[in-house]
Amino acid sequence: MQDVIKTKERIISIINEKGPSFPVQIARAINVSPLFTSVFLSELHEDNKLKTTNMKIGSSSLYFLQGQEQMLENFIEHLNQREKEAFYLIKKSQVLEDEKQSPIIRVALREIKDFAHPFKIKTAESEKIFWKYHLLPDSDFDKKVQKILNPLVEIEEAKKETIPQEAQAKPKAKKQELSDFAEKVKDYLLSKEMEVISTILEKKKEFVAKIRADILFGKQEFYLIAKEKKKINETDLALALQKAQSEKMPALIISPGEIDKKALPYLKEWRNLIKFEKLNI
């Protein structure tokens, strides 16, 4: 037991001296097999004594200590080109309003979670997502967002919700975790350059919205229903068609599941009014 404690202390000492490190580098430094080193690192991470990056280089994340966040920027050369563009943009601007960015940058910001932290800001008129540069103090972030929103709303009067990240919001702010499924659907829409016009419903396994997409003959609006289900049945299709027609729009169904065989004839019959897209997650 004493050997395990000493090994963990040595790992922390090495990272404290050298900065963010890969498991293989740490294993070499402590002269322990990579397998056992990974176990020690996982335990230290679970005990909140070490942090790990979302960024992976090859198949490995970096391990680092609280206070070494700035040193992570030494590894940005491992980001792809669009991610580097997003990094330099957020570093320069400090705060970015999500809907004002191009689809490519919006997708890239969601990939560089170590450097860009998303915050969901609710105002009386709307709901917006803002991105904060990872080294920007929360108080400065609040001031910058207030400046962007002012005079429409004062940040102190807004309900501010954070998307779970290392960054912390004001203590008095209301926090709410966004649906992971809904976020994946939004990322998919961004990758296809589809615009969310308005969100109707956002639940753990369902996302409903009105969206706009570019097609051959111009822009087309769809009534989107995204469901996290293994099978989309005929009832799902019928309800989607009914809701879409009430809005005088065609329906778009997105799901990681498949269309049930019994529902295929229905989809074929109404193919001009119902479209199905498979979501790979």
DSSP classification of residue 257:
S
d(CA 20, CA 28): 15
Where in the sequence of the chain do the CATH 1.10.10.10 domains occur?
2-69
* C-alpha 53 chain-centroid distance: 14
Q: Hey, what are 61's tokens?
A: 């994340």
Do the bridges between strand 251-255 and strand 274-278 make them parallel or antiparallel, or are there none, so unpaired? parallel
Stated as kind and residue range, the H or E segment containing 202 is strand 195-203
Q: What is the pLDDT of residue 264?
A: 94
Q: What is the pLDDT of residue 164?
A: 57
**pLDDT tens for each residue of 54-107:** 998 888 899 999 999 999 999 999 999 999 999 999 999 999 999 899 888 999
111 within 8 A of 104, measured Cβ to Cβ: no
Count CA atoms within 13 Å of residue 149 on its CB side. Answer: 26
CATH annotation of 180-278: 3.40.1350.10
d(CA 264, CA 232): 10
Where in the sequence of the chain do the CATH 3.40.1350.10 domains occur?
180-278
d(CA 198, CA 209): 6
Q: Please give the order of strands across the beta sheet that includes 127-133.
A: 95-97, 127-133, 116-122, 159-162
**pLDDT tens for each residue of 107-136:** 999 999 999 999 988 877 778 899 999 999
CATH annotation of 2-69: 1.10.10.10
Sequence-distant (6+) residues with CB within 8 A of 250 are 220, 222, 223, 244, 272, 273, 274, 275
**What DSSP string describes 60-121?**
EEEEE-TT-GGGGGGGGGGS-HHHHHHHHHHHHHSEEEGGGS-HHHHHHHHH-TTTEEEEEE
Q: What is the pLDDT of residue 162?
A: 59
| pLDDT over 70 at 166, yes or no | no
**Segment 22-46 mean pLDDT:** 93
Residue whose C-alpha is closest to residue 258's, from 232, 279, 222 = 232
Residue whose C-alpha is closest to residue 224's, from 201, 205, 204 = 201
| pLDDT over 70 at 150, yes or no | yes
**Is the N-terminal amide bond of 151 cis, ω within 30° of 0?**
yes
Q: What is the pLDDT of residue 69?
A: 96
**N- to C-terminal Cα distance for the chain?**
41
SS3 (DSSP) at 7: helix
Q: What is the pLDDT of residue 123?
A: 73
Q: How confident is the model at residue 1 (pLDDT cuts 50, 70, 90)?
A: low
234 within 8 A of 260, measured Cβ to Cβ: yes
Confidence (pTM): 0.56
Residue whose C-alpha is closest to residue 94's, from 120, 137, 132 = 132
**pLDDT tens for each residue of 224-265:** 999 999 999 998 998 899 899 888 999 999 999 999 999 999
